[in-house]
Structure 1
Amino acid sequence: MIYQHPLAYLLGMEGLALLRAWAGDNGLDQQFVTARLAEIRRLLDDDNLTAHPGVLVERDATGTAYQQWAAGYDDPGNGLFDLDQPVVEEIVDSLRAGNGVENGVGNGVGTAVDAACGTGRLAAPLVERGYRVVGVDGSPDMLAQARRRLPGTEFLAGDLTRLPVRDDSADLVVTGLALTHVGDLGSVFAEFARVLRPGGDLVVSDVHHDLVFLGSVVKAVGPAGQPQLATTHRHTTGDFLRAALATGFRVRRYEERPRPAPPEDPLPEATPRPTHEIGDWRDWPWTLLGLVPEATRAAWNHPAVTVWHLQLD
């Protein structure tokens, strides 16, 4: 179980902001530090915060989380899609599509595997570019959405460590915002290497580990109404490199994309919007951010997603 308390989160935001000022980040001057110390005192004197009982949260509810999220997964509001998808598509466009070989005969259409395909948001642009796409996901509800979106595309139930795809059969593997749910990156990268042909390409986007640390985690509500979180891991750049290099990949490109953060709105794409109320646990941390906007702006000044282009030797 995880114990989450709104005052603890807000004090954490203040602490991260003060550490950035301590390190000399631009604009975080004496006035900023003095304001943060005064704000901490106000937070500690706020009876609504200090009297809050906090929330006990269950871990490892990934299946439930995506079952509940599937119908609204593609709705506007997930700003991470706006960050990773343009980079993924740019990398795909840099590749030479149409180099697939099926049964020893060039068929003019490359084969792409969308691993942890979800609702097919990355499969769709691959289909548009002429790839024969096989989507794989472990959530029946997400697969149902993908099949409705792309009725002529093959979508299969499967696990990232046991893809229902033949050896050496894919020219391209993509996976979007999914590996944060995986504990052992090595086994997943080994599976990607198995299904790719020599020289094949792998494009991976994932949630940046700092964003996970700040509370951007997929939530669920259990059968008795209890708070739950999807299984989530904070994989560093080094974790990805070790897994990729050990399984025969070399890095072609790496990007870290930050959230846009204009001064008037630290998290413009957050859903629900930051408010000046504590709000319900299901809306944390987003509703809390409006309580400490300047600290939030400083603490959340970091990458939100990572995108890798790797090629199998």
Structure 2
Amino acid sequence: MIYEHPLAYLLGLEGTALMRAFVGGHDREFVEARIAEVRRLIDDERLADAGVEVERVDSVEGYRLWSRTYDDGRNAAFDLEEPIVREILDQLRPGVALDAACGTGRYAEYLVKGGHQVIGVDSSPDMLAKARERVPGARFQLGDLGMLPLADNTVDVVVCALALTHVADLGPAMAEFARVLRPGGHLITSDMHRDSVSRGAIPPVIGPNGERGRLSAYQHLGGDYLRAALPVGLQVRRCEEPRLPESAEPERDAEGDDDPLDASNELPPWHEWPWALVGLVPEAARAVGTGTPRTIIWHFELTGV
């Protein structure tokens, strides 16, 4: 069980911003404003008893629930990782491609358009049903990243997008990617950056009776990917850690008329946490978020152990 308290999240942002100021990132005026804002947050009655308990949900159940609305909106992470992943894919020759943890078929669709013979694998039957409708030109199978339903040396390209964050141990998945790849084959992974996960970039899921849940998510270091990939013969060809531009971070109202800590404003609903909370402390959130990586993209090539 997770205990999510909006005051804890907001004080965490303020504390991180103050730590960055302590090592020279911001001036005295910024520090004094943050300390004053902390006092106001602690005195805010809306926040005093606003904590909620949230279940941790495994990926199969979580994506079963999320599959109903997954394609309704654009995941902000797509805008950061897609251009880089597509750029890498566009440089590769068409062949047999595996979309591992394919979800609703976002990359399967792109690979088919690129001339690849595509196999999609996912552990969620509900997401696979969506993928089959979206990409009739691909073949989809139920399977797990730790035990892919493919023979050895059968694919030229593996794409795994925004899924490894749900895997506690990267070793088995990397070993499976290497097993199904042909020598000289390519693996492209995108994932939520550990800095994003640590700041709450964990999808919410709501149960049929309104139960609150968060998908299981793990904070993988850059070295964790390497320690899993290098021993199985996967060599690094590229690594990117895209960041949001500074203009994308939350800001106060341009006229300065709106006070986000005005007690008359209601707290945003739980399913919009934590991102809806950052508007309560926009200067601290901007200081923490600017320059922070949001996703991490790896390009590996199988060259032999």
* TM-score (normalizing by structure 1): 0.89
The structure 2 residue matched to 1:199, chosen from 184, 187, 194, is 184
The answer to whether the 8 A contact 1:71-1:145 is kept is no
1:142 aligns to 2:140 (yes or no): no
The structure 1 residue matched to 2:246, chosen from 261, 269, 274, is 261
Give the counterpart letter for 1:219 in structure 2. P
Give the counterpart letter for 2:68 in structure 1. A
- CA RMSD, aligned part only? 1.5
The structure 2 residue matched to 1:30, chosen from 28, 46, 49, is 28
2:279 is matched with which residue?
290
The answer to whether the 8 A contact 1:61-1:231 is kept is yes
Residue pairs, 1:1-313, within 5 angstroms? 1-25=1-25, 28-52=26-50, 54-95=51-92, 97-98=93-94, 110-262=95-247, 265=250, 277-301=266-290, 302-313=292-303
Per-residue deviation, 1:292: 0.4
* Equivalent position SS for 1:75: coil
Give the counterpart letter for 2:69 in structure 1. G
Deviations 1:150-190 (A, max 9, x none): 11210111000111111100000000000000011000000
The answer to whether the 8 A contact 2:108-2:118 is kept is yes
Per-residue deviation, 1:72: 2.6
Report the Cα distance in structure 2 between the residues aligned to 1:23 and 1:240, rounded to whole angstroms: 29
Per-residue deviation, 1:224: 4.4
- Structure 2: unaligned runs, 5 residues or longer: 252-259
2:256 is matched with which residue?
none
The answer to whether the 8 A contact 1:64-1:220 is kept is no
Per-residue deviation, 1:141: 1.3
Deviations 1:121-144 (A, max 9, x none): 111111111000000001111111
Report the Cα distance in structure 2 between the residues aligned to 1:264 and 1:170, rounded to whole angstroms: 40
Per-residue deviation, 1:261: 3.2
- Between 1:62-71 and 1:127-136, the stretch displaced more is 62-71
Per-residue deviation, 1:286: 1.8
The answer to whether the 8 A contact 1:208-1:305 is kept is yes
Give the counterpart letter for 2:140 in structure 1. F
135 and 263 in structure 1: CA distance in 2 versus 1, 3 angstrom threshold: closer
Deviations 1:10-41 (A, max 9, x none): 1001001111111222xx21111110000001
Give the counterpart letter for 1:46 in structure 2. D
Give the counterpart letter for 1:68 in structure 2. L
- Structure 1: unaligned runs, 5 residues or longer: 99-109, 267-274
Deviations 1:21-65 (A, max 9, x none): 11222xx2111111000000101111111132x111111332232
* Equivalent position SS for 2:186: strand
Identity %: 53
- Between 1:280-289 and 1:173-182, the stretch displaced more is 280-289
Report the Cα distance in structure 1 between the residues aligned to 2:78 and 2:235, rounded to whole angstroms: 25
* Equivalent position SS for 1:13: helix
1:106 is matched with which residue?
none
Deviations 1:171-221 (A, max 9, x none): 000000000000110000000010000111000000001101111102222
The answer to whether the 8 A contact 1:61-1:228 is kept is no
Tell me which stretches of 4 or more aligned residues in structure 1 moved more than 6 Å. none
Report the Cα distance in structure 1 between the residues aligned to 2:249 and 2:138, rounded to whole angstroms: 43
The answer to whether the 8 A contact 1:61-1:220 is kept is no
* Equivalent position SS for 2:68: helix
